[in-house]
Amino acid sequence: MTGIKVTHKRGKNMESAVYKLKRIVRMLRLIASGGVVANIELNPGAEWIDDWFVLEKINDQTFIISEPRYYLKNNSYLILGDSQAILFDVGSGKRNIAPVVRSLTCLPLTVIISHSHSDHLGSIDEFEGCAIADLPINRKHTRDGIFTPSFIIYSNICRRPRIRVQRWLKINELLDLGNRYLRVIHVPGHSADSIALLDQTNGMLFGGDFLYHGNLIATVGGDLFDYLTSVRSLLEWTEGNELIFPAHYATRLPADLLLDVEAALVKIIEGRVEGRRYVFSRKYSVNEQVGLITSKRLIRSAARKLYQAGTEPEEELALDKIQH
């Protein structure tokens, strides 16, 4: 029996060593390529604008400008009304997104960022400024009308952009683009400054990094309890038949994803599921396409807040029973 166990363990160790080696090789290839990915398959209807950007039309007034060669596969959104245009995120910055945007609309343009992580601010210097969510954390990093994201929420150590604040966006404000309205919703969790835009009439939720197919991240600068609160807030704002348009990877996701994320967060915070080690954090499964990376520290903190908030009285959440 012992022999069998040892062989099995050795097999498992070998498997994990091969997996680790493959990951290292993949990482080295990515670094060597400067984060550029080859072999791209486009969605039906999507077409290359040049050799970097891809354009996908959601309808006559809504465009996805994606960067499928970038390893994070960014999606920025150009949202038009009759009199105003919004650009939601400005791309990775590997290429300048501004000429693409200007080729698609001559309406007055306002840039809005989903949050101030570096992969969403790439081409920010190519625009005259930005409308920034009116949150204490953003006010804290603004002096004389210039918003400078902190190093904590801005991971690019080479350069900190100085962004002119064109206007402050009130949370829950309804932006009027001319016969088209977008609701600004605060969705902290991935980062404290994350916002989503909701077009209720057309059933479109532009979710930034809060929702996508891939590994959602709530680590440094994130908060798992906020993530849960934000998902619940989005569930209240939405009807359930919307399409979610995320900032990375696949471009159209069903609104059911909100329910899956909510269910997973509750289980994670209550300690009912085991994650597996993932770099310096732990990775949990949300569904087949989505994972969540977080830390034990954030789980403990969320459990404490959930218990104090008493949001789940029927669950009889007992802190001493939560094992992380």
Per CB under 5 A, contacts with Zn ion among 230-269 are none
Among 27-35, 83-91, 163-171, 203-211, the segment contacting Zn ion (CB under 5 A) = 203-211
Measured from the CB atom, the residue of 199 and 209 that comes closer to Zn ion is 209
Residue 17: CB minimum distance to Zn ion, A: 31
Residue 114: CB minimum distance to Zn ion, A: 8
Residue 209 lies near Zn ion (rule: CB under 5 A) = yes
Per CB under 5 A, contacts with Zn ion among 97-116 are none
- Length of the chain in terms of residues written: 324
Residue 143: CB minimum distance to Zn ion, A: 25
Measured from the CB atom, the residue of 247 and 266 that comes closer to Zn ion is 247
Residue 75: CB minimum distance to Zn ion, A: 10
Residue 226 lies near Zn ion (rule: CB under 5 A) = no
Among 49-57, 132-140, 202-210, 263-271, the segment contacting Zn ion (CB under 5 A) = 202-210
Structure tokens given for 60: 């006559």
Measured from the CB atom, the residue of 62 and 191 that comes closer to Zn ion is 191
- The footprint of Zn ion on this chain (CB under 5 A) covers a number of residues equal to 2
Among 160-168, 189-197, 209-217, 254-262, the segment contacting Zn ion (CB under 5 A) = 209-217
Residue 88: CB minimum distance to Zn ion, A: 12
Rounded to the nearest angstrom, the gap between the alpha carbon of residue 314 and the centroid of all alpha carbons in its chain is 31
Residue 115: CB minimum distance to Zn ion, A: 8
Structure tokens given for 196: 């989503």
Measured from the CB atom, the residue of 147 and 154 that comes closer to Zn ion is 154
Measured from the CB atom, the residue of 119 and 270 that comes closer to Zn ion is 119
Whether the CB-CB separation of 290 and 213 falls below 8 Å is answered with yes
Residue 181: CB minimum distance to Zn ion, A: 26
Measured from the CB atom, the residue of 196 and 269 that comes closer to Zn ion is 196
Measured from the CB atom, the residue of 138 and 194 that comes closer to Zn ion is 194
Residue 268: CB minimum distance to Zn ion, A: 21
Measured from the CB atom, the residue of 177 and 206 that comes closer to Zn ion is 206
The 3-class SS string of the chain reads CHHHHHHHHHHHHHHHHHHHHHHHHHHHHHHHCCCECCCCCCCCCCEECCCCCEEEEEECCEEEEEECCECCCEEEEEEECCCCEEEECCCCCCCCCHHHHHHHCCCCEEEECCCCCHHHCCCHHHCCCEEEECCHHHHHCEECCEECCCCCCCCCCCCCCCEEEEEEECCCCEEECCCCEEEEEECCCCCCCCEEEEECCCCEEEEECCCCCCEEECCCCCCHHHHHHHHHHHHHHCCCCCEEEECECCCCEECHHHHHHHHHHHHHHCCCCCCEEECCEEEEECCCCCEEEECHHHHHHHHHHHHHHCCCHHHCCCHHHCCC
What is d(CA 91, CA 79) in angstroms, rounded to the nearest whole number? 15
Residue 269: CB minimum distance to Zn ion, A: 23
Kindly tell me which residue out of 56, 67, 89, 119 binds Zn ion, with binding defined by CB under 5 A: 119
Residue 193 lies near Zn ion (rule: CB under 5 A) = no
Measured from the CB atom, the residue of 117 and 282 that comes closer to Zn ion is 117
Q: In whole angstroms, how large is the CA radius of gyration of the chain? A: 21
Provide the binding-site residues for Zn ion, judged by CB under 5 A: 119, 209
